[in-house]
A and B are shown apart, each in its own frame.
Chain A
Amino acid sequence: MNSEDNVSVTHPRTTDAQRRFEIDRSCREVVVFWYVSAVCWLLFGSLLAMIASIKMHTPGFLADAAWLTFGRVRPAHLNAMIYGWASMSGVGTLLWLMARLSKIKLPWREMLLIAGIYWNVFVAIGIWQILAGNGTSIEWLEFPWWISIALGAVFAILIVLAVKMLTTRREKHLYVSQWYLLGATIWFPFLYITATVLIHSPAAIGVAKGTTNWWFAHNVLGLWLTPIGLASAYYMIPKVIGRPIYSYALSILGFWTLALFYNWAGTHHLIGGPLPAWVITVGTVGSLMMFVPVITVAVNHHMTMVSHFKKLKFSPTLRFTVFGAMAYTVVSVQGSLTALRTVNLTGHFTHYTIAHAHLGVYAFYSMVAYGAMYYIMPRLIEREWYSSNLIKVHFWCTAVGITMYWVGLTWAGWFQGMMMNNPDIPFLDIVRYTIPFLWSRSIAGILMTIGHLAFAILVFRMVRRDGAWLVEPTLLRSIKNQQMEPAPRLEGADL
C-alpha cells in the first residue's frame, strides 16, 4: 500500500493522517459489510414498494397469490426499509463515526461482522414471515415477536461497544455526534424489546397496546434514525466545508430537548381514538415542544453553512446531507402541526400521513445516509467514486422523486380527509379522487428506484475498486478553474 510512503516525513499533520488511515482501515470490512447489506435491502425494499404502490391504483396487479396481497407486501416493504436499509446503513455510519470521533481503532471486528450476518438473516426471516402471513399487523413491529427479540439482542454488543469506545477514547472532547450516537444505541433496543414484550404478553391490555405501539413506532424514527441522521449531519457539514459547527451550546440544547420531547409525541397517531383525553393531550404537547430541538438544529446547521452554500454544487456528500438536514426541519415542523387536533381532523387516516412518514424516513434520514456513505466509503476502500454522472443521476432521481411523492400524496391525503369529513360525499368517490395521485406516487417511486439502481452500481463498483486512486474526491462538477478549494482531504479541521 502506497500510504506508507506518504507518511515517511514525520510531520504532525501526516501522523494525524496516518492515524485516520489506520482507523479507517480498522473499520473497512465491518462497515463495508453493513453498508453493502443496506444497499441490497434498499433495492429489495424498492421492489416491494413498487408492487405495493401499483396495487393501490390497480388492485388486480399480482392479486392471485396470498403472499403478494397488498396487506403483506406493504409491511414487508416498511420492514425491509427500516430494519434492512435504514438500520444497517445507520449502524455502519455509527461505527465509523464512533471510531473517528473517539480516535481509536474499531474493536471487536469479527463479532461485528458476525452480528451483521445475523442481522441480515433475521431480517430476511422476518420479511418471509410477513409474506407468509405471520406478520403481527402491529405497525412497525410486524416481525413475529421472536425476531424482534433476536434483533434487539444484537444491541447488547453495540451498547457495550459504544460505551467501551467512549471510555477508551483518545480525544478528550466529546463531539455532539457522539451524544446522539450513544443515545441511539441505548434507546433503540430499549424501545424494541420493551414494546415487543408489552404487546405480545398480557402485561398491557386493550388500547394500552395501541399506545405502546405508537410510543415505539414514532420513536423508531425519533430516537433511532433521527439521532443517527443528525449525528451524521453534524459531522459531515462542518467536515466538508472545513469550519466548525456554529454553536456547541446549541447542539447540546438540541440533543436534550429532542431526548425529552420526542418520546412523548407518539400518541398523536391516536388523536380522536378510544383513549383518555389526557394521553392524547400529552402526545400533542410533546409534538409541539419538538419545535425547540428542531429550530435549534436548523439554526445551528444553517449558521454553519452560511456563505458556504456554493459548495453544494460540488460535493455529493454535502448536497445529500444538506438536502436531508433541510427535510428534517420541514418534516418536523409538519409533524408538530399535524399533532394539532384541527390538522389531525383532516390529515389523519389518509395518504397525508404516508407522505409525512416518507418525508421523515426518506427525504431526511435516507438522504443523510447517502451523504454519509459518499463520504465514508472512499476512505474505507481507498478508491474514489467511479462516476460523477451516476452520482448526479442518484441525486436528481431521488430528490425529484421524493418531492413529487410528498407533494402528490400530501395533496391527495388532504382532500381525501376533507371529503371523508363531509358525509354527503360517497366513499367510492373519495377512492376515485385519489387514484391519479396514487399514479403520481408510482411514477415518483420509479424515479427513486432508478436513483437506487444508480447508487447500487456505484457501490458495487466501489467494492470492486473500479474508481480512481485517492487523488481528489469525485465531485459533481470539476473545481478546476474555480476560485475555491475543497476542504483538504488529509488535513484541516480534525474532529
Chain B
Amino acid sequence: MNRISVIILGIFAVVIASLMGLVIVPNWQFEEMQPVEIISADGSKAVYPQKLDSWREAPGREVYRGLGCIYCHSQQVRPEGFGADIDRGWGSRRSVPRDYVFQSPPYLGTMRTGPDLANIGIRQPIEEWHLMHLFDPQITSPGSTMPSFKFLFETHEGSEPMTSIGIPAIQLPKAYTKKPTWIVPKKEAMDLVAYFLTLHQKFDLKDVK
C-alpha cells in the first residue's frame, strides 16, 4: 500500500512540474503583456495588436478554424538567420508573444504545405484575389495543391448577377472558363477574407531583438 502511494505521488509530481514549467510560468510572463501604441515615422498613431471586429473578422477566424486551414498554413515568422521566412517576404521581422495577445488560441501551426500566413494581409491585400484563390487556387496559383473551396461560393453563368450590398460578383478569367461565369461569395467566404486582411505583423515592436 505504502509503495503504491509513493509511486502515485511521484507520478503526479513529475507531470505537475512540467505543467508549471511549460505552461504556468510562461503564462505569468505573458499575462502583463498589453497592446502598445505605435507612432509611425509620419507621425500617425496606431494601437497594436487590434481586436477583431465581431461583424466579419471574428466570424472569419471561426471559418479559418472550422475549415482546418492550420493543417497546411502556419502563422509565425521565424527569426532572421533561422530559416528564410524574412527573405521569402513572409514578414519583416520575427513574430513575438505580443503579436498574439488577443488570439485565443493562436493558430501558430506546425506545417507549411502552403506558405506562412502571419502577414498575408499585407502580402495579398486585394479581396478579389483571395476570393478567386479560395474558389479555385489554380486560377491564381497554378500547380498549387490547395483544395478548392467552391462550396463557399455560388456560381452564375451569363450576365452579371445581382448581389446584396457589400458582396461582390466576380467574373472568372476567360482562360479559366469559356462561358462567362460569375462567382458570388457566401458569407463565410467574405468573413474569411476579412480575417485574412487583418493578418499582419507590420509594426516594429521593442520586444523584438
A binding-site residues for B, Cβ under 8 Å: 55-57, 59-60, 63-66, 69-72, 74-75, 133-139, 163, 166-167, 174, 179, 182-183, 186-187, 190-191, 194, 198-199, 202-215, 219, 223, 256, 259-260, 263-264, 266-267, 269-270, 272-276, 279, 282-283, 286, 341, 345, 348-350, 353-354, 420-423, 427-428, 431-432, 435
B71 x A186 contact (CB < 8 A): no
A174 x B71 contact (CB < 8 A): no
Which of B11, B64, B76 counts the most chain A CB atoms within 10 A? B11
Neighbouring B residues of A422 by C-beta, 8 Å: 84
Neighbouring B residues of A64 by C-beta, 8 Å: 150-151
A71, A186, A206, A263: the one contacting B33 at CB < 8 Å is A206
CA distance A117 to B34 in the complex (A): 47
Residues A274 and B10 in contact in the complex (CB < 8 Å), given A133-B67, A135-B65: no
CA distance A431 to B141 in the complex (A): 11
B binding-site residues for A, Cβ under 8 Å: 1, 3-4, 7-8, 10-12, 14-15, 17-19, 21-23, 26-27, 29-31, 33, 64-72, 74, 76, 78-79, 82-84, 87-88, 94-97, 99-113, 115, 137, 141-152
A428 x B143 contact (CB < 8 A): yes
- The residue on A at minimum CB distance from B89 is A423
- The residue on B at minimum CB distance from A273 is B76
Q: With both chains docked as a complex, state the minimum distance between the C-beta of A362 and any C-beta of chain B, in angstroms.
A: 18
CA distance A443 to B11 in the complex (A): 41
A427 x B88 contact (CB < 8 A): yes
Residues A206 and B71 in contact in the complex (CB < 8 Å), given A65-B151, A187-B11, A421-B83: no
Neighbouring A residues of B68 by C-beta, 8 Å: 69-72, 74-75, 135, 137
A-B pairs under 8 A by CB, number: 217
Q: With both chains docked as a complex, state the minimum distance between the C-beta of B117 and any C-beta of chain A, in angstroms.
A: 12
Neighbouring A residues of B70 by C-beta, 8 Å: 71, 137, 139
A63 x B99 contact (CB < 8 A): no
- The residue on B at minimum CB distance from A344 is B82
B101 x A206 contact (CB < 8 A): yes
B11 x A186 contact (CB < 8 A): yes
A348 x B110 contact (CB < 8 A): yes
B26 x A279 contact (CB < 8 A): yes
CA distance A346 to B150 in the complex (A): 34
- The residue on B at minimum CB distance from A266 is B22
19 contacts between A and B (CB under 8 A): A63-B147, A70-B147, A71-B70, A183-B11, A186-B8, A187-B15, A198-B23, A205-B101, A206-B30, A206-B97, A207-B30, A208-B30, A211-B23, A212-B23, A263-B14, A273-B78, A348-B110, A349-B111, A428-B144
Neighbouring B residues of A190 by C-beta, 8 Å: 12, 15
CA distance A149 to B21 in the complex (A): 23
Neighbouring B residues of A204 by C-beta, 8 Å: 23, 27
Q: With both chains docked as a complex, state the minimum distance between the C-beta of A194 and any C-beta of chain B, in angstroms.
A: 6
B4, B15, B144: the one contacting A431 at CB < 8 Å is B144
Q: With both chains docked as a complex, state the minimum distance between the C-beta of A475 and any C-beta of chain B, in angstroms.
A: 37
- The residue on B at minimum CB distance from A201 is B104
Residues A353 and B110 in contact in the complex (CB < 8 Å), given A205-B27, A274-B99: yes
CA distance A265 to B90 in the complex (A): 28
A55, A75, A208: the one contacting B23 at CB < 8 Å is A208
Which of B18, B79, B112 counts the most chain A CB atoms within 10 A? B18
CA distance A210 to B111 in the complex (A): 14
A136, A276, A341: the one contacting B97 at CB < 8 Å is A276
> Can you name 6 extra interface pairs (CB under 8 A) apart from A74-B68, A198-B23, A207-B100?
A206-B33, A259-B15, A272-B82, A275-B26, A279-B26, A348-B110
B105 x A213 contact (CB < 8 A): yes
CA distance A63 to B136 in the complex (A): 10
B71 x A71 contact (CB < 8 A): yes
CA distance A202 to B22 in the complex (A): 17
A206 x B8 contact (CB < 8 A): no
A211 x B76 contact (CB < 8 A): no
Neighbouring A residues of B100 by C-beta, 8 Å: 206-207, 210, 274
Neighbouring B residues of A63 by C-beta, 8 Å: 147-148, 150
CA distance A209 to B101 in the complex (A): 10
A207 x B97 contact (CB < 8 A): yes
Q: With both chains docked as a complex, state the minimum distance between the C-beta of A126 and any C-beta of chain B, in angstroms.
A: 14
Which of B17, B22, B29, B151 counts the most chain A CB atoms within 10 A? B22
Neighbouring B residues of A259 by C-beta, 8 Å: 10-11, 14-15
Neighbouring B residues of A139 by C-beta, 8 Å: 70, 110
B66 x A349 contact (CB < 8 A): no
CA distance A237 to B151 in the complex (A): 52
Closest 5 CB pairs of A and B: A71-B68, A263-B18, A423-B87, A133-B66, A209-B105
Residues A182 and B11 in contact in the complex (CB < 8 Å), given A64-B151, A353-B111: yes
CA distance A296 to B201 in the complex (A): 46
Neighbouring B residues of A282 by C-beta, 8 Å: 21-22
A199, A273, A353: the one contacting B108 at CB < 8 Å is A273
Neighbouring A residues of B109 by C-beta, 8 Å: 349
Neighbouring A residues of B142 by C-beta, 8 Å: 428
